[in-house]
Amino acid sequence: MPDAAGQAAAQRLLDLAATAGPDDLIIALVSGGGSALLALPPEGVSLAEVQALYRALLESGADIAQMNRVRKHVSRILGGRLAAAAPNTPMVSLVISDVPGDDPGVIASGPTIPDVSNRAEAQAILAQYGIDPGPALAAWIASPAADTPNPDSAAFAQNSVHVIASPHRSLMAAAETAKSLGYPVLVLGDSIEGEAREVAKVHAGIARAARLQGVPLAGPCVILSGGETTVTVRTKGGRGGRNAEFALGLAQALNGLPGVYGLAADTDGIDGTEDNAGAFVTPDSLTRAAAAGLSATDFLARNDSYSFFQTLDDLLITGPTRTNVNDFRALLIE
């Protein structure tokens, strides 16, 4: 979520870029989380109004590309506007990807990248999810001032972009580690999206087939996937991000299947807004939960996966990892 410190930092960046000239070089280090850290509301719009919009987007079930398409059009620095503040200065963007497909224009809502979307698309996304941005933001998005610099803008003539870390590389590193321990590996891909609990059901189905039928590969083996799922908040007051919700959905779908273990975690060490990176699933997760008086169905219904795994002492807490290459999921089949 945006805050006043991020707003002040974004303004400082914009002001600094405006002082650069043709003999300078701007090096922009961009990674996931920048959309919130660089929130700079349009003139006449308060930070509280932008915060409310961000919260509504996060709870709506919209995917990251849709959320960032809206964010670009309610900011004075995102969607290429930072680059536009220094139109005559060469710029190099070094980008760490945390989005499916590694599109630099989506990562951190592309502050140095030309925008291929438009304000009409932002309005359509808000309508699709029934989000009312409030009168001030609605008026801004409807105005030409909300338009972002497009690829034809001269502001990007001297710009170059390099993706230096990505979800794919993360999965490949994990696969090599598993192989070094003697496990065959199946990588499902780094661009898996969808509702966390529904994606968990698919993963559980693949694990079940591997465990019981030896397809698509027989155990012992490891199945890996990446990508960014979403959570539609159904009940206020629950705790937990998309990885803990995936883990809870996985535990429920596996229903105690012997020989299958799971891990879902955000590579930055923070699952949503909690202090955990994610959570573990074991064959006895539901048995231990029942002994503690917990119902996986009830906790999932109120989006309270953090509390479920906290009681079981199955949260993964790493602290900040200082990087962010999206979510990581691993299934170990004995």
Cα 253 from Cα 198, distance rounded (Å): 10
Helix (H/G/I), strand (E/B), else coil: 7 = helix
Which CATH number covers residue 303?
3.40.1480.10
For residue 163, what are its two tokens?
Answer: 């993706």
**pLDDT of the residue at 83:** 96
Q: Are residues 249 and 278 in the same domain?
A: yes
Q: Is the pLDDT of residue 235 over 90?
A: no
Cα 224 from Cα 216, distance rounded (Å): 13
Q: Rounded to a whole number, what is the largest CA-CA distance in the chain?
A: 68
Q: Are residues 174 and 225 in the same domain?
A: yes
pLDDT digits (tens, 9 = 90+) for 196-233: 999 999 999 999 999 999 999 999 999 999 998 999 98
pLDDT digits (tens, 9 = 90+) for 252-261: 999 999 999 9
Q: Are residues 243 and 293 in the same domain?
A: yes
Which CATH number covers residue 83?
3.40.50.10180
Q: Are residues 136 and 149 in the same domain?
A: yes
Of 165, 183, 200, the domain-final residue: 165
Q: Are residues 153 and 213 in the same domain?
A: no
**pLDDT of the residue at 187:** 97
**pLDDT of the residue at 252:** 98
pLDDT digits (tens, 9 = 90+) for 91-139: 999 999 988 788 999 999 999 999 999 999 999 999 999 999 999 999 9
Q: Are residues 147 and 25 in the same domain?
A: yes
* Angle at 112 (CA atoms; ends 54, 166), nearest 5 degrees: 80
Q: Are residues 69 and 54 in the same domain?
A: yes
For the chain, how many structural domains are there in total? 2
Q: Are residues 118 and 159 in the same domain?
A: yes
Q: Which domain range does residue 62 map to?
A: 4-165
Mean pLDDT of 169-175: 95
What sign for the dihedral angle of Cα 296, 201, 60, 113? positive
Tell me what the pLDDT averaged over the chain comes to.
Answer: 95
Q: Are residues 124 and 142 in the same domain?
A: yes
**pLDDT of the residue at 153:** 92
In Å, how far are 82, 168, 188, 191, 274 from 163, measured between CA atoms? 18, 12, 22, 16, 28
pLDDT class of 33 with cuts at 50, 70, 90: confident
Mean pLDDT of 250-276: 95
Q: Are residues 123 and 245 in the same domain?
A: no
**pLDDT of the residue at 32:** 87
Of 118, 150, 165, the domain-final residue: 165
Q: Are residues 161 and 173 in the same domain?
A: no
Of 142, 165, 188, the domain-final residue: 165
Q: Are residues 226 and 269 in the same domain?
A: yes
Q: Hunting for tokens 């801004």 — which residue is that?
A: 140
